[in-house]
Amino acid sequence: MPLDPKIAARLKRSADGLVPAVVQQHDTGEVLMLAWMDDEALHRTLTTGRATYWSRSRSSYWVKGETSGNAQHVKQVALDCDGDTLLVKVDQVGAACHTGDRTCFDADVLFP
């Protein structure tokens, strides 16, 4: 089954059909990573409860944690007011970043 047409109609996708997904730890608000979803990745996420993304470098779908064990169990998905960004609240198991860090944003603080 495709993505619910009512949801699909609200999405404002990039030229390549993608929507950025900000991923946040559901209970602490910690921002974990940014990934990309198309309609199919969003549909899979909403129907399975497992965070599924589109890899721009591999041109394929990936389920977070499928190979690493660092899974994301989806608690909530919200669409921003413009329809061009998703907020995916998850229960993160292990590291979110491919480098092994908890979050993709703790290695290179620019300010202060």
Q: What is the pLDDT of residues 56-102, one digit of tens each?
A: 999 999 999 999 999 999 999 999 999 999 999 999 999 999 999 99
Tell me the pTM.
0.95
pLDDT tens-digit map of 4-34:
999 999 999 999 999 999 999 999 999 999 9
pLDDT at residue 106 is higher than 90: no
Decide if 72 contacts 92 (C-beta within 8 A).
Answer: yes
- In order, the DSSP letters of 23-86 are EEETTT--EEEEEEE-HHHHHHHHHHSB-EEEETTTTEEEETTTTTS--EEEEEEEE-TTSS-E
Does residue 85 form part of some domain? Answer: yes
Q: Which domain holds residue 58?
A: 5-92
Q: Count of domains in the chain? A: 1
Write the CATH number for 57: 3.10.20.810
Taking only the tens place, the pLDDT of each residue in 31-67 is 999 999 999 999 999 999 999 999 999 999 999 999 9
Residue 100 within a domain: no
